[in-house]
Each structure stands twice: as structure tokens, then as C-alpha cells.
Copies of this chain bind each other. A is one copy, B any other.
Amino acid sequence: MQQHKIEVCFSPALFPYYENREAIVVVVDILRASSAIVTAFMNGVEKIIPVGTLKEAKEYKANGFMVAAERDGIVRDFADFGNSPFNFTPERVGGQVIVYSTTNGTQAIHLASGGYQVLIGAYLNISALAAHIRMQQRDLLVLCAGWKNRFNLEDTLFAGALAEMVLEDDRWYTICDATLGSMDLYRQAGEDMMGYMEKVAQRHRLKKNKLDDVIGYCHQFDRTDRIPVLRGESLVELHAMK
């Protein structure tokens, strides 16, 4: 039986030491970019163009695109809206193309682009994601967007949750300490994920700007089976490709 490995990379800055061009790379930025992107596809967005820099985002805006852009949790003034998943309503995003730039998440997507397939992961689509990975029968690399290249707990917990789901199938294995640690932390957070999240740094940052209303939503499992996938420079819905 051929076995496929699971690895977790805690920071974009560590990506060179985990890069695996044969792997499916799942990019995660739970609070809030990957949760917002999954929400946008749940609500019918046609395409999202992730851009790393605000300069690029501004150029797209000047060319008539709808732009979502934030830095450090704050919406940029030239943008149509910011990074809260609650902004990505069906009325606003249905059938639209959106340009998107955030503090950590969109850069991580570009970094991952050399992988076999790049998917956007969140609790909101976690079971669909796990099911798709198992069908592909490939290595899995979870890339945590982190916070300005630092380790963060919320992405790590998600990595642990996803690894645990995929490992239920014994064609996958892990000998990666980061994956083992993520699963242990996820199990420890356990039933009381919101209680555990009380302490994480990003909750404090969001709360300071009164943006912590999304934390409960971003930790809901399986709100959608849509999976954003990177095709060229854009994110589109995986099943729409077929």
C-alpha cells in the first residue's frame, strides 16, 4: 500500500524547509483570510484574485475591480471592504470577481503556488477538504499563514484538526513533529475551542479593534462543501473546474 505523508509548516518563513512540489498544499489563515475566502465561495463569488501588496490592490482598484484589503486588521481606505467574513455576503460577492489583499494570508497563497495543488482551508469547509485530499491520494502540506511569520495557535489548531481527519485513513501517515504537535494541541483545545481561543494573540488583536465578533463563526465546522483552489493567479471553486 502506498502511503502519503502529512506535514505542517507553521510559518511562511519556514516554507523552504517543508516545500513539497508533489503535495496538495492547504493554506490556512483562520482569523480571518482563509475563513473569509471560503465564505466568499460559499456565497457565490466567481473568482478571487489574491494579491500580496497593497500597491497591486490599488492598481486593480484603479482598473475598476472590487477590492477587499486590510493590514493589521484595518480596512484600507481605497478598498471596498475589509477582511471580515461577514463582509463577503451573497449580495456583495455573488457572481463577482474580487481582488483581495491581507496581512498574512494572501502572501502565503503565492508562496504555496509551486505545489501540486493549492487549496484554501477553514473549519467552514474542513470535511469537504479532507474528503477531497483522500480522493487525490497525495502528500498533504498544511501551510499556516501565521502572524507576520510568527507561529500562531489558531492556524495550528486547524492544521491538527485537518491532519487528524485525513489520518483516519491509514493510507496517510505522519512523522512530522509539527503535525504531531498540532494534533496534540487540537485535542487539548477539544470541545471547548472557544475557551481555548481566549488566550491566543490574534484574539487580543481583533478585540482591540472590535473585530473579534467573527471568532465563533470562523470555528464553525462544515458550513459549505466549496473548496477554493488556485488556478494561475486566481482562486476559483474546485468543483467548478470540472
Contacts and interface: CB of A to CB of B under 8 A. Distances in A.
Interface of A: 10-11, 13-14, 16-18, 147-153, 156, 175-178, 180-181, 184-185, 188, 199-202, 204
Contacts of A200: 177, 180
Which 10 A-B residue pairings sit nearest by Cβ, starting from the closest? A151-B178, A153-B177, A17-B149, A152-B177, A17-B150, A177-B201, A184-B188, A175-B201, A151-B177, A13-B13
A39 B153 CA distance: 34
A173 to B, nearest CB: 12
Nearest to A180: B199
**Considering residues A17, A156, A204, which has the most beta carbons from chain B within 10 angstroms of its beta carbon?**
A17
Contacts of A153: 177, 180-181
A237 B175 CA distance: 37
How many copies of this protein are present in the complex? 2
Contact of A18 (B10, B17, B150, B177): B150
Contacts of A13: 13-14, 16-17
A199 B175 CA distance: 8
Given A14-B14, A150-B177, A184-B188, 19 more contacts: A10-B10, A11-B17, A13-B13, A13-B14, A14-B150, A17-B149, A150-B176, A151-B177, A151-B178, A151-B181, A153-B177, A156-B177, A175-B204, A176-B201, A177-B202, A181-B185, A184-B185, A185-B185, A188-B188
A155 to B, nearest CB: 9
Contacts of A202: 177
A191 to B, nearest CB: 15
A181 B204 contact: no
Contact of A151 (B10, B16, B152): B10
